[in-house]
C-alpha cells in the first residue's frame, strides 16, 4: 500500500483561505498534546503564546519590532521568488546594507553633522544591499553561474567583512579592544514612533514596501512581467521580456530592501555595529516569504506570526518555565502544518494498494 498525491480538479476559494486557519488549529492541538503529556496545562501555554502577546501593548510593540526586518526582507525576496530566481543571500545583503550605512554613522560620529546624516545612511543601506545583491545576478546573467550557490556563499563573505571591520578599523577605541563600534550619535539613530517605544521607522518602511509591492505586482507591466517570467518563462520570452533585465532588477530590489532592513535594524534597534547584527533574519525571511505565499499582505501577516512564535517562546520560558526546545519544536510543527494544509488544498491523498496499478 502506498500514498499518492493527485491534483484536485478545482479548489474552492473559501477552502484556500481557510487552509492556514485550519493549519493553525491543528498545530496548536498537536503542541497542546505534547504540553499535556509533559504534565503542563495546554490552556496556560496557549494563553502565554498567543493571547498575552496580542493583548499586551508592550508585546504588540515588540512584535512589530521583531516582524519589521522579517517583513522587509521577505517582501524583497518575493520579487525574486515570483520570477523563479533563488536569492538565498538576503542575510548578506542585510549585513552589507548595515555596513555601508553604518560607515557614514561612524564617519560623522562626534561631528556636528546635521539632519542629512540619517537619510543618507538609509540611502547607502539600500545601495549597499542592492549592489551586493547584483553580484549573484550579474554572475548568473553573464556567466550562467547558479545564483543559489553564489548568493548563499556571499553571506559568509559579508559576515566576515563586518567581523573584520568591527574588530579592526571600526573598533571603538575606548572599548577595551572588544569587537564593536562606538554607539551611534542621535543624528544617526532612526527615531522611534513614540517616546518610550522601541518601534522605529523601519516598521513604516516595511508597511510602505508591502503597499508599493501590492501595487507593482497587481497594477504594473513590471509586475505582470515578473509573474509571467516565473510561471511561463517561454511565454515571457515570446512576449519579448528580457530574462536578463528581470534577473538584475529583482536582485537589486531584493538586495535593496534587505539592505534597508539591515541599516534600519542597526540604527534603530542595536545602535552600533557589532560582529553579530542579525539572529538569521535573512534566512527566516525565506520561510516568511513562503508562509505568506509570496503575496504582499500574506507576507506581512506571516512576519507577524513568525515574530509571535519567537516572542511567545520567550514568554513561555519566563512565565511557564517551558524549555526553548519546545518552542523550536512548535515552530517546526506550525510550518509543517501550514505547508501540508497548502498541499492538501490543491491535492488529494489517494491510497493505492500494492499491485493495484500496472
Partner 1 sequence: MSFRTILGALAGVTALALTAGTAGAQEKLKIGFIYVGPVGDYGWSHQHDVGRKAVEKAFGDKVETTYVESVPEADSERAIEQLARTGHKLVFTTSFGFMEPTLKVAKKYPNVKFEHATGFKRAPNLSTYAAKFHEGRYIIGQIAGKMSKTGTIGYVGAFPIPEVVAGINSYFLGAQSVNPNIKIKVVWANSWYDPAKEADAAKALLDQGVDIIAQHTDSPAPLQAAEARGKFGFGQASDMEQFAPKAQLTAIVDNWSDYYVARTKAVLDGTWKSEDTWGGLAAHMVVMSPYKNMPDDVKKMAEETEAAIKSGKTNPFKCPVLKQDGTEVECKGNGALSDEQILGMNFYVKGIDDKLPQ
Q: Rule CB under 8 A: which residues touch partner 1?
A: 58, 62, 65-66, 163, 167-168, 176-180, 183, 196, 198, 269-272, 274-279, 311, 314-315, 317-319, 321, 323-324
* Number of residues in the chain: 358
Q: Using alpha carbons only, how large is the chain's radius of gyration in Å? A: 22
Q: What is the spatial distance between Cα 313 and Cα 305, in angstroms, rounded to a whole number? A: 12
DSSP secondary structure string for all residues of 123-187:
HHHHHHHHHHHHHHHHHHHHH---HHHHHHHHHHHHHHHHHHHHHTTTS-TTSTT-S--PPPPGG
CB of 251 to partner 1, least distance (A): 25
Task: Report the residue number, 89 or 179, with the smaller CB distance to partner 1.
Answer: 179
Task: Report the residue number, 95 or 302, with the smaller CB distance to partner 1.
Answer: 95
CB of 194 to partner 1, least distance (A): 14
Cβ contact 304:63 at 8 Å: yes
Task: Report the residue number, 185 or 342, with the smaller CB distance to partner 1.
Answer: 185
CB of 276 to partner 1, least distance (A): 5
CB of 47 to partner 1, least distance (A): 14
Cβ contact 265:202 at 8 Å: yes
CB of 168 to partner 1, least distance (A): 5
Phi-psi region of 144 (alpha: psi -120 to 50; beta: other; left: phi over 0): left
Task: Report the residue number, 3 or 176, with the smaller CB distance to partner 1.
Answer: 176
CB of 46 to partner 1, least distance (A): 18
CB within 8 Å of 77: residues ≥ 6 apart: 87, 90, 254, 285, 286, 289
Cβ contact 87:77 at 8 Å: yes
Task: Report the residue number, 70 or 104, with the smaller CB distance to partner 1.
Answer: 70
Q: What is the spatial distance between Cα 255 and Cα 134, in angstroms, rounded to a whole number? A: 8
Task: Report the residue number, 163 or 342, with the smaller CB distance to partner 1.
Answer: 163
CB of 308 to partner 1, least distance (A): 13
7's grid cell: 491534483
3-class DSSP assignment, residue 198: coil
What separation, in Å, do the N-terminal and C-terminal C-alpha atoms of the chain show?
14
DSSP secondary structure string for all residues of 224-269:
HHHHHHHH-HHHHHHTT--HHHHHHHHHHHHHHHHHHHHHHHIIII
CB of 199 to partner 1, least distance (A): 12
Q: What is the spatial distance between Cα 64 and Cα 306, in angstroms, rounded to a whole number? A: 11
CB of 313 to partner 1, least distance (A): 9
Task: Report the residue number, 148 or 270, with the smaller CB distance to partner 1.
Answer: 270
215's grid cell: 501595487
Task: Report the residue number, 206 or 294, with the smaller CB distance to partner 1.
Answer: 206
Amino acid at each position: 500500500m502506498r500514498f499518492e498525491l493527485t491534483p484536485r480538479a478545482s479548489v474552492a476559494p473559501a477552502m484556500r483561505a481557510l487552509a492556514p486557519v485550519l493549519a493553525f488549529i491543528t498545530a496548536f492541538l498537536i503542541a497542546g498534546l505534547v504540553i499535556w503529556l509533559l504534565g503542563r496545562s495546554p490552556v496556560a501555554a496557549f494563553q502565554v503564546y498567543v493571547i498575552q502577546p496580542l493583548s499586551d501593548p508592550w508585546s504588540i510593540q515588540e512584535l512589530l519590532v521583531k516582524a519589521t526586518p522579517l517583513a522587509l526582507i521577505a517582501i524583497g525576496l518575493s520579487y525574486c521568488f515570483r520570477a523563479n530566481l533563488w536569492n538565498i543571500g538576503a542575510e548578506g545583503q542585510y549585513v552589507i546594507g548595515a555596513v555601508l550605512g553604518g560607515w557614514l554613522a561612524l564617519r560623522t560620529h562626534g561631528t556636528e553633522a546635521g539632519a542629512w546624516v540619517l537619510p543618507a545612511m538609509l540611502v547607502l543601506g539600500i545601495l549597499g544591499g542592492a549592489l551586493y545583491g547584483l553580484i549573484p545576478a550579474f554572475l548568473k546573467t553573464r556567466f550562467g553561474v547558479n545564483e543559489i550557490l553564489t548568493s548563499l556563499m556571499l553571506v559568509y563573505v559579508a559576515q566576515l567583512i563586518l567581523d573584520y571591520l568591527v574588530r579592526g578599523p571600526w573598533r571603538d577605541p575606548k572599548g577595551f579592544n572588544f569587537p564593536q563600534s562606538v554607539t551611534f550619535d542621535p543624528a544617526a539613530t532612526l527615531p522611534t514612533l513614540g517616546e518610550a517605544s522601541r518601534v522605529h521607522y523601519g516598521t513604516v518602511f516595511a508597511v510602505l514596501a508591502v503597499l508599493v509591492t501590492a501595487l507593482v505586482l497587481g497594477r504594473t507591466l513590471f509586475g505582470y512581467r515578473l509573474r509571467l517570467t516565473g510561471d511561463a518563462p517561454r511565454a515571457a520570452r515570446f512576449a519579448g521580456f528580457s530574462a536578463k533585465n528581470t534577473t538584475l532588477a529583482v536582485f537589486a530590489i531584493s538586495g535593496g530592501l534587505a539592505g534597508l532592513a539591515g541599516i534600519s535594524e542597526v540604527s534603530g534597534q542595536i545602535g552600533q555595529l557589532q560582529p553579530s547584527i542579525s539572529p538569521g533574519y535573512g534566512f527566516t525571511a525565506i520561510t516568511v516569504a513562503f508562509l505568506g505565499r509570496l503575496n504582499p499582505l500574506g507576507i506581512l501577516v506571516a512576519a507577524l506570526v513568525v515574530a509571535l512564535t519567537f516572542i511567545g517562546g520567550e514568554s513561555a520560558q519566563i512565565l511557564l518555565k517551558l524549555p526553548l526546545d519546545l518552542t523550536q519544536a512548535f515552530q517546526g510543527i506550525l510550518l509543517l502544518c501550514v505547508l501540508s494544509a497548502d498541499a492538501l488544498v490543491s491535492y488529494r491523498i489517494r491510497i493505492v494498494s500494492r499491485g493495484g496499478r500496472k
